[in-house]
Amino acid sequence: MTNVFSAFDELVPNAAPPTPRKRRPLPADAAYLHAVPADPKPLPPSDGIILLRGDTLTPQPITWLWQGWLAQGKLHILAGAPGQGKTTIAITLAATITMGGRFPDGTRCEAGNVLIWSGEDDPADTLLPRMIAAGANRSRVFFVDGARIDGQVVPFNPARDMLGLLEAVDSIGGCSLLVVDPVVSAVAGDSHKNGEVRRALQPLVDLAAATGAAVLGISHFSKAGQGGDPTQRVVGSVAFAAVARVVMVAAKIKSPEGEDRRILARSKSNIGPDEGGFEYHLDQAEALPGIHAARVAWGAAVAGSARDLLTDPNEDDGEGKSAAGSAEDFLRELLADGPMPSKQVKADALEAGHAWRTVRRAADDLAIVRKKGGMDSGWY
């Protein structure tokens, strides 16, 4: 292991060392990347406010790794229900970048390094075989494998190790894509609290800006919300989708003819088009003799909004039922560790985008009990 990553380059022993890539400077106040406090203390008053006048700035265009889909220096989210191949899609895109291949729309990209930080899949028996099945250049693939503290190897912790990762990116000559699977791993606090999620994602946003890499976080859909805006179905706080500049969604639906279709679509983009997508299907390939792995085969481009493309006629799209189901999921997770003050539940519910009356109805449906804490205590 070198620094905090492992390289799979044994097939290219004489590969030339990567050319160092100049990165952008970190923000002046980026010292917080050393650690993200779970309960930050109040900040002291500032000595003054800094204003930038418009005519002193030079407008800069968005630089795209994949036009309209992956922007350099920006955070992206790829979400979908379990079993839709989200990780395999991310791996396939990463493999394309390592070999300077073609994206689903036929455009070619410049070859670059990719980093993968996965808290769910093993690099040796799952991720690397998928990379090989997708045709990756293994010498450009790096897996975040841990960190060293006082000579001891410990798990990678984004709240502590982001500056170390930045140094590791510099040491390999730069990075074009960083995949974080799942993106909720970057959140040490409550993933349903808007403020905590925004604080936790900021180091990823700054890492993307400093390195020029596109950061792609993998997430899941909530169980409720079928038929609604797919962006609103990203699990956890609305901050996940709000902080990301582009949100992509993957889903399997049935065509009017009753055939299964898988579609990757854009459901939100603050920096480009937010419509259109591509059909895809998952197949198995023999990556190496005796080693089989999943890979993505891209299909035709499709037009339309993500909501229209991904709405399954067999799903219940009733607004009331979807909202109630989402509120029930919220309450189950929030109260999993025991009672909470009603005021806190209400505050968290409103921050997560749930109407309080809907939460009250969901609590009744789940038979959640409300009790007075004592003579001098509130309700729980």
**Nearest 10 degrees: CA dihedral of 36, 350, 81, 127?**
0
Whether 255 contacts 115, CB under 8 Å = no
CATH code for the structural domain at 63-310: 3.40.50.300
Q: From CA 269, how far away is CA 73, in angstroms rounded?
A: 14
Return the structure tokens found at 38. Answer: 């779970």
Which residue type occupies 232?
A: Q
Angle in degrees, CA 165, 167, 172, rounded to 5: 95
User: How does residue 5 score in pLDDT terms, banded at 50, 70 and 90?
Assistant: very low
Kindly list the distances between the CA atom of residue 10 and the CA atoms of 56, 139, 206, 286, in Å, as whole numbers in the listed order: 50, 8, 32, 19
Q: Output the CA–CA distances (angstroms, integers) from residue 8 to 154, 171, 203, 225, in the order listed.
A: 21, 16, 27, 41
CA distances from 235 to 43, 123, 267 (A): 30, 25, 15
pLDDT per residue over 32-78, tens digit each?
Answer: 344 444 455 677 787 889 999 999 999 999 999 999 999 999 999 99
Tell me which of 103-117, 177-191, 268-282 is least confident: 177-191
Rg (CA), the chain: 22
Largest CA distance in the chain: 75
Tally of residues, the chain: 380
300-320 pLDDT, tens digit per residue, is 999 988 888 876 544 444 434
Does residue 9 or residue 304 have the better pLDDT? Answer: 304
Ranges for all domains in the chain classified under CATH 3.40.50.300: 63-310
CA dihedral (144, 105, 83, 323) positive or negative: positive
pTM beyond 0.75, yes or no: no
Backbone CA torsion sign across 232, 317, 322, 280: negative
* Separation between Cα atoms, residue 6 and residue 168, nearest integer Å: 11
261: pLDDT strictly greater than 60: yes
| Residue whose pair of structure tokens reads 């670059």 in the numeric block | 112
Task: Please give the Cα distance from 94 to 136 (Å, whole number).
Answer: 8
